[in-house]
Amino acid sequence: MMAIDKEPKQGITRMDKVMLIFFDEDFKLLLQHRTDDAPAFPSYWCVFGGEVEEGETWGQALKREIKEELDYDIKDPRHVLTIECVNDAEEGTVGDRVYFVEKCLDKSGLVLGEGQGMGWFSYEEILKLKIIDHNLEAIKKVFPTLK
């Protein structure tokens, strides 16, 4: 991960994404298993979230993405971390990866809308998964602060 200027350089596209670190009462995190044919990071595990569309706030984008991916209405997400990164899987893009956390109070209503699977994992299990680098970086920073 390299530090970059806030303003994209010529030929570079800015693409911000919002991410939800969703945890349960046992402090297990919900992750998505990306499809084998995903255009970026195929077969990797990742947190749920996606691209901020033009005109959206981070909160609006997070609400939309989580509804699309889990058919879940977020309740009270808390912004915990922003990582600026170059997205190697999408050459020529930079952007913020904006992380929120929320405790899941009802797992029964979660319906997978994207990816090939999902699962709840302990911190130790996550360290052994094939997971997107910036997601793992965020989890390592945020996990000790979960309440």
* Domain of residue 54, CATH code: 3.90.79.10
Mean pLDDT of the chain: 88
pLDDT attached to residue 53? 92
Task: Determine, yes or no, domain membership for 3.
Answer: no
Task: Determine, yes or no, domain membership for 59.
Answer: yes
User: Shortest CA distance to 12 belongs to which of 84, 90, 83?
Assistant: 90
Number of domains in the chain: 1
What's the whole-number mean pLDDT along residues 127-138? 95
Q: Write down the pTM of the prediction.
A: 0.86
More confident of the two residues 60 and 11: 60
Residues of the domain holding 71: 13-145
Task: Determine, yes or no, domain membership for 20.
Answer: yes
* Distant-in-sequence, close-in-space partners of 76: CB < 8 Å, separation ≥ 6: 102
